[in-house]
């Protein structure tokens, strides 16, 4: 049996620095801290503590949860988004809103003298400003998502589930590919499905290490995306195998596309991080026109056996 690549620990290990965007948002994190600190300082400087008998526990829970969740949204946005216009607008808008809800929450513990009437004004207005800014941020986010959807068209179809994305290649896993095939069959449509296998990839891992192997697989995945049509779908099947779904295409046209992909892989000059010499590899493939009445599992078994025979004959 052709060996399946193991995923290296280095590729999937969670660390604070490589799994969040916080290191790019130090100023915005400082802004977030200052917003909360300013609200607390105003309450302590101009307010007087209330008697415990007049403090409402329900109000504390309700308003405190709003302030806490707003802070959590800000941190989540900064943790997950790269720097840019949308991130900045979201942070500013949420910051203004956080300031208002923080003062509102602190009202449950402090009351203010008449000369501090202006505090009620700055408690209300920043929230309105924040909502306007966040509306602008959501519109920019909408434009950003439209652009991203076009870029991801050959990686995903009509359903997005980031839990199903392979962390190495950034393609969806085999189950997503099978689900889209089943949807096509249920609609009565046929399509060409293909499996592409990288030759001798286990030897590459043994010689250069799994971390470099993961980098190589990522580069190969990008090549596949570049060579597919807008309506096609590429996924990682398993190990060093990739699965392609091509609707509305003849077997001859599909063969041309697959040939172009294999030629691109063959000419991919991969360079090890410690060596300037280029490394080249080849790939083999198998394809079938899947009809609506055919069982995918049966067809896949036949395709995988064909790949195994091709590997054994080449060995």
Alpha carbon separation from 97 to 103, 109, 127, 130, 221 (Å, rounded): 10, 20, 4, 5, 42
User: Please, are residues 232 and 244 in contact by the beta-carbon 8 Å criterion?
Assistant: yes
How much is the average pLDDT of 176-197? 92
Strand partners, 290: 191
User: Please, are residues 25 and 84 in contact by the beta-carbon 8 Å criterion?
Assistant: no
How much is the average pLDDT of 104-122? 82
Phi-psi region of 3 (alpha: psi -120 to 50; beta: other; left: phi over 0): beta
Alpha carbon separation from 85 to 77, 134, 138 (Å, rounded): 12, 12, 11
Model confidence band, residue 2 (pLDDT cutoffs 50, 70, 90): very low
Q: Which residue has the higher pLDDT, 119 or 280?
A: 280
Cβ-based neighbour number of residue 17 at 10 Å: 8
Identify the three-state secondary structure at position 113. Answer: coil
What stretches of the chain adopt beta strand conformation (E)?
48-49, 110-111, 172-173, 191-198, 233-238, 241-247, 270-271, 278-279, 283-290
- The phi and psi torsions of 18 (rounded to 5 degrees) equal -90, -5
Between 73-77, 87-91, 229-233, the lowest mean confidence (pLDDT) is in 229-233
Q: Whose CA is closest to 251, among 287, 223, 212, 286?
A: 287
Cβ-based neighbour number of residue 305 at 10 Å: 11
For tokens 């602190």, name the residue.
Answer: 106
Cβ-based neighbour number of residue 92 at 10 Å: 18
**In the predicted structure, residue 119 carries a pLDDT above the cut 90:** no
Indicate the pairing of strand 172-173 with strand 270-271. unpaired
At 20-55, the pLDDT tens digits run 688 889 999 999 999 999 999 998 998 888 888 878
pLDDT at 15 (0 to 100):
43
- What is the pLDDT of the chain when averaged over all its residues? 85
Indicate the pairing of strand 48-49 with strand 110-111. antiparallel
pLDDT at 191 (0 to 100):
93
Q: Which residue has the higher pLDDT, 160 or 193?
A: 193
Indicate the pairing of strand 233-238 with strand 241-247. antiparallel
**Rounded-to-integer distance, Cα 135 and Cα 73, Å:** 15
Q: pTM score, two decimals?
A: 0.57
pLDDT at 13 (0 to 100):
36
pLDDT at 33 (0 to 100):
95
In degrees, rounded to 5, the angle at the alpha carbon of residue 300 between the alpha carbons of residues 296 and 303 is: 145
Q: Which domains does the chain have, with CATH numbers?
A: 12-151 (no CATH), 162-314 (3.30.70.270)
């Amino acid at each position: 049996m052709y060996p399946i690549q193991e995923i290296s620990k280095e590729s999937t290990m969670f660390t604070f620095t490589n799994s969040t965007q916080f290191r790019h948002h130090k100023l915005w994190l400082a802004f977030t801290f200052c917003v909360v600190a300013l609200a607390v300082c105003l309450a302590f400087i101009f307010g007087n503590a209330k008697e415990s008998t007049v403090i409402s526990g329900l109000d504390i829970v309700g308003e405190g949860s709003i302030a806490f969740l707003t802070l959590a949204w800000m941190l989540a946005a900064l943790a997950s988004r790269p720097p840019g216009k949308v991130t900045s607008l979201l942070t500013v808008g949420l910051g203004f809103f956080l300031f208002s809800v923080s003062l509102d929450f602190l009202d449950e513990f402090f009351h203010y003298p008449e000369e501090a009437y202006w505090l009620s004004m700055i408690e209300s207005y920043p929230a309105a400003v924040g909502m306007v800014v966040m509306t602008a941020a959501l519109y920019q986010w909408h434009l950003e998502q439209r652009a991203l959807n076009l870029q991801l068209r050959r990686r995903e179809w009509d359903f997005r589930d980031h839990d199903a994305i392979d962390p190495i290649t950034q393609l969806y896993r085999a189950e997503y590919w099978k689900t889209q095939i089943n949807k096509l069959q249920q609609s009565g449509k046929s399509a060409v499905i293909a499996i592409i296998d990288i030759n001798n990839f286990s030897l590459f891992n043994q010689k250069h290490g799994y971390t470099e192997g993961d980098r190589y697989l990522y580069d190969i995945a990008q090549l596949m995306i570049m060579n597919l049509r807008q309506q096609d779908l590429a996924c990682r099947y398993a190990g060093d195998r990739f699965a392609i779904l091509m609707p509305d295409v003849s077997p001859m046209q599909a063969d041309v596309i697959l040939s172009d992909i294999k030629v691109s892989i063959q000419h991919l000059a991969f360079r090890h991080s410690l060596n300037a010499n280029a490394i080249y590899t080849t790939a083999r493939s198998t394809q079938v026109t899947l009809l609506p009445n055919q069982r995918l599992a049966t067809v896949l078994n036949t395709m995988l056996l064909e790949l195994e025979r091709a590997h054994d004959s080449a060995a």
